[in-house]
Amino acid sequence: MVVLHFTAMADVQAALDRLCDPEAAVSAHYLIAKTGDLIALVPEDRRAWHAGAGAWGRHGDINSRSIGIELDNTGTEPFSEPLMGRLEHLLAGILARWAIPPARVIGHSDMAPGRKADPGRRFDWRRLARQGLSVWPNPAAPGDLRADLETFGYRVPLDLPDAEALTLDAFRQRFRPWATGPADDTDRALAAGLARAWPCMAG
């Protein structure tokens, strides 16, 4: 898999300092600056400590099976064009080298609902999908929202309060970033589209 993050820090140097600080015990394979500069931190065939607790599909140890990319962004601002261009070039190479399907390019928030919110509501997932670097659903007949989200890869954290609401929010962060309120048929139609087009992709 590939997991996308935002740094949520003041600038790329602050993020780099933290990612290289042994006391912080966090890392990523790559860091991309707003300027488009690419900083390679951990070889792709080595484990990096970027994902933490969470799950996607049947997998709970995401660090052992993913490449982590940190994006220089506070989480409240648009992602710069140089950054997005560099990310697209980087992702194309990673997916080719490791035979990773686009459905396995996910956000930190996808695998850790309620705990993480990156890469955030300002990230342009549809742009990646248009280039085959991620996925975007075509609506299908609305079905069972929870079952369809689980088929796609979301794991409802049943031990958490408001588990289904947290998973709905994670899904909306990516596919309906400005939606609010209870789940509706638009949510169910998009989730059904994901489940039908990319079932068990995280299995």
Catalytic site positions: 70
**47-83 per-residue burial string, b: 16 or more CB within 10 A, e: under 16:** bbebbeebbbbebeebeeebbbbbbbbebeeebbeeb
User: What type of residue sits at position 63?
Assistant: N
* Sheet with 67-71: strands ordered across: 38-40, 30-32, 67-71, 2-6, 105-107
Q: Estimate to the nearest angstrom the gap between the alpha carbon of 158 and the chain centroid.
A: 21
Residue 202: which of 112, 109, 105 has the closest Cα? 105
CA distance 38 to 94: 14
How far apart CA 75 and CA 176 sit, in angstroms, is 16
Count the residues in the chain.
Answer: 203
